Homo-oligomer: A and B are copies of this chain.
Amino acid sequence: MSHETIEKEFMDYIKKMKSYNEAISLMFWDLRTGAPKKAVEQRSQTIGILSTEVFQMLVSDKMKEYITVLSEENTYSKLSAITQKSLELMNKEYKKNKVIPPEEYKEYVILQTKAESVWEEAKNTSDFQLFAPYLKKIVEFNKKLIGYWGYEGNKYNTLLEEYEPGMTVEILDKVFKQVRDHVVPLVQEINASTNKPETDFLFKAFPKEKQRQLSEFLLTEIGYDFEAGRLDETVHPFAIGINRGDVRVTTKYDEKDFRTAVFGTIHECGHAVYEQNISEDLEGTLLCTGTSMGIHESQSLFYENFIGRNVGFWERYYEKLNEYAPEQFKNISLEDFYRAINESKPSLIRIESDELTYALHVMVRYEIEKALFNDEIEVEDLPQVWNEKYQEYLGVTPPNDAQGVLQDVHWSGGSFGYFPSYALGYMYAAQLHQAMLKDLPNYDELVKTGDFESIKSWLTSNVHQYGKMKKPLEILTDVTGEGLNASYLINYLEEKYRRIYKL
Residues on A lying within 8 angstroms of B by beta carbon are 15-16, 19-20, 22-24, 26-27, 30, 34-43, 45-46, 49-50, 53, 225-230, 242-246, 283-284
Q: Contact check, B230 vs A42: say whether CB atoms are below 8 A apart.
A: no
Cα separation A229 to B30 with both chains bound (whole Å): 12
Q: Which residue of the partner chain, among B19, B30, B41, B53, contacts A26 with CB atoms under 8 Å?
A: B30
**In whole angstroms, how far apart are the Cα atoms of A211 and B226 in the complex?**
27
- Closest A-B pairs by Cβ, 8 of them: A38-B245, A39-B246, A23-B23, A42-B243, A38-B228, A19-B46, A19-B49, A37-B227
Task: Check B39 against A245 for contact (C-beta < 8 Å).
Answer: yes
B243–A36 contact, CB under 8 A?
no
Are B244's CB and A42's CB within 8 A? yes
Collect the chain B residues with CB atoms within 8 Å of residue A38's CB.
225, 227-228, 244-246
Q: In the complex, which residue of chain B has the Cβ closest to the Cβ of A38? A: B245
Q: Does more than half of chain A's interface fall in helix, strand or loop, or is it mixed?
A: helix
A243 to B49, CA, bound (A): 15
Given contacts A16-B49, A23-B23, A38-B227, 4 further A-B contacts (CB under 8 A): A36-B246, A39-B242, A42-B283, A43-B242
**What are 26 pairs between A and B in contact, CB < 8 Å?**
A16-B49, A16-B53, A19-B45, A19-B49, A19-B50, A20-B50, A22-B42, A22-B43, A23-B23, A23-B27, A26-B26, A26-B27, A34-B230, A35-B230, A35-B246, A36-B230, A37-B227, A38-B227, A38-B245, A39-B228, A39-B242, A39-B245, A42-B244, A42-B246, A43-B243, A46-B243
Q: Nearest Cβ distance between residue A213 and chain B, in whole angstroms?
A: 15
Chain B residues with CB under 8 Å of A36's CB are 226-230, 245-246
Within the complex, the shortest CB–CB distance from A458 to chain B, in Å, comes to 22
In the complex, what residue of chain B is closest to A29 when comparing beta carbons? B30
Copies in the complex: 2
Contact B23 A245 (CB under 8 A): no
Report the Cα distance A26→B36, complex, angstroms. 13
Report B-chain residues with C-beta under 8 Å of the C-beta of A22: 42-43, 46
CA distance A40 to B244 in the complex (A): 10
Q: In the complex the two chains form, what is the Cα distance from A49 to B246 in whole Å?
A: 18
Cβ distance A225 to chain B, nearest Cβ, rounded Å: 7
A27 contact set on B, CB distance < 8 A: 23, 26
A215 → chain B closest CB, angstroms: 16
Query: Closest CB of chain B to A27's CB: distance in Å?
Result: 6
Closest to A225 in B: B38
Distance, CA A38 to CA B39, complexed state (A): 27
Q: Report the minimal beta-carbon distance from A371 to chain B, rounded to whole angstroms.
A: 42
The smallest beta-carbon distance between A208 and chain B, in angstroms, is: 16
Given the complex, which residues of B lie within 8 Å of A41, measured CB to CB?
Answer: 245
Which B residue sits closest to A228, measured CB to CB? B38
Decide if B23 touches A46 in the complex (CB within 8 Å): yes
- Chain B residues whose CB sits within 8 angstroms of the CB of A37 once the complex forms: 227-228, 245
Assess the A15–B245 pair: CB atoms within 8 A. no
In the complex, what residue of chain B is closest to A41 when comparing beta carbons?
Answer: B245
Contacts of A245 in B (CB 8 A): 36-42
A487 to chain B, nearest CB (A): 40
* Identity of the chain B residue whose Cβ is nearest the Cβ of A22 in the assembled complex: B46
Q: How far is the CA of A227 from the CA of B39 in the complex (A)?
A: 8
> In whole angstroms, how far apart are the Cα atoms of A146 and B284 in the complex?
38
Question: CA–CA, A302 to B300, complex, Å?
Answer: 52
Task: List, in ascending order, chain B residues with CB within 8 A of A227's CB.
Answer: 36-38
Residues of B within 8 A of A50 (CB): 19-20, 23
**Listed residue (A39, A229, A230) with the most chain B CB atoms within 10 angstroms of its CB:** A39
CA distance A50 to B36 in the complex (A): 24
Q: How many Å from the CB of A62 to the closest CB on chain B?
A: 15
